[in-house]
Structure 1
Amino acid sequence: MSVKLTEVARQAGVSLATASRVLNGSDRTPAAGIADRVRAAAEELGYVANAQAQALARSTTGLVGLVVHDIADPYFSAIAHGVQEAALKRRHQVLLAGTDIAGATESEGGAELSAANAFISYRTDAIILAASRLQSEDPRLSAALGRYIANGGRVVALGATDIPGAQSLALPNEEGAAALAAALIEQGHRRFAILAGPPERNTARHRVEGFTRALAAAGLEPVAVVPGAFNSQGGFDATLECLEQVGIADKDAVTGIGAGPGDDAGAAGLCLLAANDVMALGAMTALRSRRLRIPQDVQVAGFDDIPTLRDHSPGLTTYRLPLEQIGRLAAELALDPSRSSDAAIAGQVVLRESAGAAQPVGA
């Protein structure tokens, strides 16, 4: 049974007109304490979610909400393209929100919650969370999306989530990282450092776990594990810190660590395993700022195989995820209640010049 605005007003101890002004966005809002009471009552009673449920019971809106971390990141733009392609086939339009907004006053968790609430207010038929999930979901986000799901909405997350009732699309992050590290070990690499990304993000943690598992299987340990933001600047900063930890200040300090001119493309040197491609590209910029050659002095590998890699030289060794396919699968799962969430997503190791491959393998 749906909750009426009169019930919210009664719970908050205010008039119906006051409750309406607070919840319907009127310019004439009451004092902050009264507005907070009304919002708390609406949340407790599930007023917004049940209004959405009434709309879902009548008809579909033909809208899908997609939450990404950084709209400019090629990883997310490729996924978004796949989501849009599958949604259009089902006569749906995609609403897009990014959580990495420069100058935002709220945390990323708050930005994701705001995006989800906006999509709920637009009565979208489904919401897709493409940003890497946190180890522990924001309880406010879980509560809001839990009510949305209970009232007929569908939520799909890329990666495991504890949001009640949400579907999750498993990505081969740990398996792919292990396969990539194993392939590099097979190529003769023995000295690795990991640019780990943000440890609170499941994607970064799982990839680091895959890297370290493959190294341990070969009797190796990383010489450094350095966290950083999941972007180019994060890769740049983490690389400079990593070089300091391992004692490489610049080109003159690489003797005995990397291969010299004419040697075997640095197979005996330091190989940086970055948790994603944009971090790896930032790492390459940092290495050049220290006059270090790639791959002769230091080698670099990333993860994802984002579409823009074709514009970079040397070619980046990476693990290829089928990003557009992932987006399509997420949209199909969100819009087809009968579809199973156990779709197998396979990736591929791609060896290129940045880690010493004479000829690209898997490209």
Structure 2
Amino acid sequence: MTLHDVARTAGVSQATASRVLNGSVRNVRQENVDRVLTAAAELDYAPHLSAQAIARGSTNIAALVVSGVDDPYFSSIAAGVTQAAEAAGLIVTMAVADRSPERELQIVGTLRGMRPRVIILTGSRVDGADARDALVEELQAYREAGGSVVLISQHDLPFHTVSIDNYGGARQLARALVGLGYRRFAVVRAGTHLRTSRDRCSGFVEGLREFGFDVDERLVVDAELSRRGGCEAARELVRRGLDGTELVFAVSDVMAIGVMTAFRDAGLVPGRDIAVAGFDDIGPAVDVVPELTSVTVPLQHVGLRAMELALSDDDAPRIVPVATNVVLRASTPPR
């Protein structure tokens, strides 16, 4: 028998059943207390020790798993998570998966033993059924023990998810750039195995196709999702020949900043000789010259919402959508 069985039999949420069975009944109606205790007795349910520890608050840890620490995307999300955690009296501990499904799985397994109250995973999901199934199994076991799970990513796993509109934001960006007069495009992406990269690239191309434009496959370059990756991709574009390319879209701002650096090294002036656009609208987007056109993702708000979702009493997985907004700046002047 599991905590879920007790909650279902008693007709209450899993969070309520957990509080009752672990003595935290101050905010629980007496009738629900009685129903939970009766259901537990009927089912001969024995609480798991780690679940008791979590529910009684002996752990005040919120665990945040990120893909990297050198990317302002994740540090901005972490700021929001930390703000909400501190308001709830929790301490945030952070682990880095380095965009490795195997490493992410290992981290989650280790965290289960540490018994944090909350686990928040952020970062693009990597395609692969084996990695996905193993991660779901680990997270479900942790949740069955009383923990709370939230993902900041695509909503294709059975957990609370804060979902960023990557596809729609990139499509809106393409429409805006066509409106500025751009017609010939190149794309720098982080491969098709990363869902975020794939969704942003697909959305951008679809936005162009609405106006009868497309991207030559020869001008689509895959690289590491980093500033260095953006540099390498831009050098590759120069090597292949830009052939009148007017604008390069990179699927993240850090890649776009790398693209701009490499173009300067090649004697091209971003915003004058060739336009550049990114995605995320991280802080440095307005520090570079020229300021970078991007798609705003309210990253700190994303972190706040993730923690609020983790601390809610909802048992059924919820999807919290996060809208994006195009911001046009000097890196993409009207043509």
TM range (shorter): 0.7 to 0.9
Q: What is the alpha-carbon distance in structure 1 between the residues aligned to residue 295 and residue 156 of structure 2?
A: 27
User: Which of these residues, 108, 116, 119, is aligned with residue 124 of structure 1?
Assistant: 116
Partner deviation per Cα, 1:90-142 (whole Å, 9 max, x = no partner):
11111101122xxxxxx822221222122211101111111111223613322
Residue segments in structure 2 that go unaligned for 5+ positions in a row: 3-47
User: Which of these residues, 174, 184, 191, is aligned with residue 177 of structure 2?
Assistant: 184
Asked whether the equivalents of residues 65 and 97 of structure 2 are also in contact (C-alpha less than 8 Å), the reply is: yes
Partner deviation per Cα, 1:235-290 (whole Å, 9 max, x = no partner):
11112222333x24xxxxx7xx3xxxxxxxxxxx5200100000000101111111
Deviation at 1:53, TM superposition (A): 2.6
Q: Report the TM-score when normalising by structure 1.
A: 0.74
Q: What is the alpha-carbon distance in structure 2 between the residues aligned to residue 308 and residue 118 of structure 1?
A: 34
| Matching of residue 327 in structure 1 with residue 303 in structure 2 | yes
User: Which of these residues, 222, 228, 231, is aligned with residue 233 of structure 1?
Assistant: 228
What does residue 260 of structure 2 align with? 284
Runs of 4+ in 1 over 4 A off after TM superposition: none
Question: Per the alignment, in what secondary structure is the counterpart of residue 150 of structure 2?
Answer: strand
Q: What is the alpha-carbon distance in structure 2 between the residues aligned to residue 307 and residue 91 of structure 1?
A: 28
Q: What is the alpha-carbon distance in structure 2 between the residues aligned to residue 178 and residue 162 of structure 1?
A: 21
Q: What is the alpha-carbon distance in structure 2 between the residues aligned to residue 93 and residue 290 of structure 1?
A: 47
Partner deviation per Cα, 1:35-68 (whole Å, 9 max, x = no partner):
xxxxxxxxxxxxxxx5533423544522111011
Question: Per the alignment, in what secondary structure is the counterpart of residue 354 of structure 1?
Answer: coil
Question: Per the alignment, in what secondary structure is the counterpart of residue 269 of structure 2?
Answer: coil
Letter in 2 for 1:153: G
Deviation at 1:302, TM superposition (A): 0.2
Percent identity of equivalent pairs: 36
RMSD: 2.2
Asked whether the equivalents of residues 184 and 215 of structure 2 are also in contact (C-alpha less than 8 Å), the reply is: yes
Letter in 1 for 2:214: E
What does residue 194 of structure 1 align with? 187
What does residue 95 of structure 2 align with? 97
Question: Per the alignment, in what secondary structure is the counterpart of residue 193 of structure 2?
Answer: coil
- 1:329–1:357: structure 2 CA closer, same or farther, 3 Å change rule? farther
Partner deviation per Cα, 1:315-341 (whole Å, 9 max, x = no partner):
001001101000100111111123983
Asked whether the equivalents of residues 150 and 309 of structure 2 are also in contact (C-alpha less than 8 Å), the reply is: yes
What does residue 42 of structure 2 align with? none
What does residue 242 of structure 1 align with? 237
Partner deviation per Cα, 1:205-237 (whole Å, 9 max, x = no partner):
110111011011010111221111110111111
Superposed counterparts of 1:258-273, under 5 Å = 269-273=245-249
What does residue 306 of structure 1 align with? 282
Count of residues in correspondence between the two structures:
286
Residue segments in structure 1 that go unaligned for 5+ positions in a row: 3-49, 101-106, 249-253, 258-268, 359-363
Asked whether the equivalents of residues 52 and 120 of structure 1 are also in contact (C-alpha less than 8 Å), the reply is: no
Asked whether the equivalents of residues 239 and 283 of structure 1 are also in contact (C-alpha less than 8 Å), the reply is: yes
Asked whether the equivalents of residues 133 and 161 of structure 1 are also in contact (C-alpha less than 8 Å), the reply is: no
Bigger relative contact order (CA 8 A; separation at least 6)? 2
Letter in 1 for 2:187: I
